[in-house]
Structure 1
């Protein structure tokens, strides 16, 4: 068992969190706690899981709970760079349709940036339509 470590960076509308280590029953709640304290309300969250070789059902539960929390606050969760073992669990558990996954961190960041800009563009378009 490898205890996870976390690194966080903020961009406009996005909180990017890199995770390294296993996410399992003994430590998966650390990700939940870290995400709750580091993300900004309304931010989309990108989790770089390239350094997570193992994910168990407790880790999956935390990912689903983190996604639900983020969505309640107007954002969404984007997973990047999953290794084979975590993908196998997500597939077996039927979680793939629920979680947004990307092959690279850059793809996930682009998708989150696009999503974070979409509501702003819609608000501006609506305001513009009101002015006419």
Structure 2
């Protein structure tokens, strides 16, 4: 698993390449904690190169989403591969995590919500 990040338009964009499973999910959790500037940050996960996500990785993303939502932020997943999207569908995680086709779409959604003063839906 390879992780990178950048800050852009009121969000932290995190790119995940490779697999997130029981051996790497703790690294993802630590990384999210390190790069998040504040608990109310919107996190955009660029998942275009995320080839596999198991239940431990999903738990990390859901915990980040719950924390962000409690503070007025959210977790957005962009560019999901079909295999990863299927895991989110089966588990019902799409209720807590917003999904977008591309990072730019997620950034636009965050910007629109901020301009309108709309809180992220739970």
Do both share a fold (TM > 0.5)?
yes
CA distance in 1, matches of 2:115, 2:34: 23
* 1:14-36 per-position Cα deviation (integer Å, ceiling 9, x unaligned): 11111111011111121111111
Which residue of 62, 72, 75 corresponds with 1:74?
Answer: 72
RMSD (Å), alpha carbons: 1.8
Larger radius of gyration: 1
In the TM superposition, 1:58-73 aligns within 5 A as 58-73=56-71
**How does 1:86-105 map onto structure 2 within 5 Å?**
86-105=84-103
Q: 1:71 deviation in Å?
A: 2.0
Q: Which residue of 2 aligns with 1:39?
A: 36
Gaps in structure 1 of 5+ consecutive residues: 122-132
Task: Provide, for residues 66-123 of structure 1, a one-character-per-residue CA deviation record: whole Å limited to 9, x for no partner.
Answer: 111222333111110010111111111122222100011111111122234443x9xx
Map Cα deviations across residues 23-71 of structure 1 (whole Å, 9 max, x no partner).
Answer: 1111112111111110111221111000101111111111101111222
- Structure with greater strand share of residues: 2
Structure 1 residue 15 corresponds to structure 2 residue 6: no
TM-score (norm 2): 0.87
The number of residues matched between the two structures is 118
Specify every segment of 5 or more residues in structure 2 that has no aligned partner in the other structure, as ranges.
none
- Which one of 93, 96, 106 corresponds to residue 104 of structure 2? 106
